[in-house]
Amino acid sequence: MITHTLTVAYTEASGTSNLPDDDRKLLEEAWHACDSAYAPYSNFHVGASLRLANHIIFNGNNQENAAYPSGICAERVAVFSASALHPGVPIESIAVVAKTEVFNLAVPVTPCGACRQVLAEYETLSGKPIRILLQGNSDKIWIIEGIANLLPLMFHGGELKK
């Protein structure tokens, strides 16, 4: 038997002052989207903003539903909108932010498993790592280069064809 060990990496920034303008802009857009989240059941407001390789920005926020599982996360609203309107254009980066009045979100919120899988799909399609920026209710920002750092040993479509 052999045990394989995988390492994941992320970078933590304090505030946006040392980030490139492109990152700052995406975080601003994500906070803007977060303000319009429809989250009356969880009171957990999430905003996402992504930049495509053609420089177009798509925003999304969580959309909840009285039939709970019918709701959808902010990340997937943004990613599916982008793919619907600009199919095949790679996603360069995505910022995801969250806030709630119910408690203090001191650390950034990381995407749920379903959203990681969806990001993996589009990253695999384009072959280019997606840059992921995460922020909660503090100046702490986590930067993750590529979905493999969020979803090691991911399932991808290639396995369906073998």
Q: Which stretch binds ligand THU (CB under 6 A): 18-26, 40-48, 85-93, 154-162?
A: 40-48
- Angle at the Cα of 70 (from 67 to 74), degrees rounded to 5? 125
Token pair, residue 63, equals 């959309």
Say whether 123 is catalytic: no
Structure tokens given for 134? 């995460």
Considering only residues 22, 44, 124, 156, which one is a binding residue for ligand THU as defined by CB under 6 A? Answer: 44
Strand partners, 132: 94, 144
Task: Select 74 or 82, whichever has its Cβ closest to ligand THU.
Answer: 74
CA distance 55 to 21: 13
Say whether residue 50 binds ligand THU (CB under 6 A). Answer: no
The answer to the question of residue 64 lying near ligand THU (CB under 6 A) is: yes
Pick from 16, 42, 117, 149: which binds ligand THU (CB under 6 A)? 42
Residues across the chain = 162
Closest by alpha carbon to 149, among 136, 130, 128, 126?
130
Provide the greatest CA pair distance for the chain.
51
- Is position 29 an interface residue for ligand THU (rule: CB under 6 A)? no
Binding-residue total with ligand THU (CB under 6 A)? 14
Name the β-bridge partners of 14: 140
Q: How far is the CB of 144 from ligand THU (least distance, A)?
A: 13
Task: Give residues in contact with ligand THU (CB under 6 A).
Answer: 39, 42, 44, 46, 62, 64, 71, 73-75, 109, 111-112, 115
Q: Which residues carry out catalysis?
A: 75
